[in-house]
Chains A and B, each alone.
Chain A
Amino acid sequence: MSHSDQVIPIRTNLIVFVILLALLFLTVGIAYIDLGVMNMVVAMTIAVIKALLIMLIFMHLRYTSHLTWIFALAAFLWLGILITLGLSDWLSRGWIDIPGK
Chain B
Amino acid sequence: MLLGACFLGIKAIEWHHDYEENLFPGPSYTFKGKHREADLASNKEVPIKIASLGEPLDPGEQSDLRRQAQSLLQDYGKLREIDITAEPLPYRWQVTLRLRPIKVREPDYIAVQEGTSPEAAMTLCIRDLEQRFRRHTQMFFVVYFFMTGLHALHLIIGIVLVGIMAVLSWRGWFSGGGETQIEVTGLYWHFIDIVWVFLYPLLYLIDVHQ
What residues of chain A have their CB less than 8 Å away from a CB belonging to chain B?
1-2, 4, 24, 27-28, 31-35, 39-40, 43-44, 46-47, 50-51, 54-55, 58-60
Contacts and interface: CB of A to CB of B under 8 A. Distances in A.
Contacts of A43: 201-202, 205
Given A34-B210, A40-B206, 11 more contacts: A2-B184, A24-B200, A33-B209, A35-B209, A39-B207, A43-B202, A44-B198, A47-B197, A50-B197, A58-B186, A60-B183
B186 A28 contact: no
Nearest to B184: A1
11 contacts: A2-B179, A34-B209, A35-B209, A39-B209, A43-B205, A46-B201, A47-B197, A47-B198, A54-B193, A54-B197, A59-B190
Contacts of A31: 201, 205, 208-209
A2 B205 contact: no
A56 B106 CA distance: 44
Contact of A55 (B194, B198, B202, B210): B194
Contacts, number: 54
A58 B193 contact: yes
B180 A1 contact: yes
Interface of A is mostly: helix
A32 B208 contact: yes
Contacts of A35: 209
Interface of B is mostly: helix
Interface residues of B, number: 20
B156 interface: no
B209 A51 contact: no
A4 to B, nearest CB: 8
A52 to B, nearest CB: 9
Q: Identify the interface centre among A1, A2, A24, A35: most chain B CB within 10 Å of its CB.
A: A2
A59 B197 contact: no
B179 A54 contact: no
Contact of B198 (A4, A51, A60): A51
Given A2-B180, A31-B209, A32-B209, A44 B190 contact: no
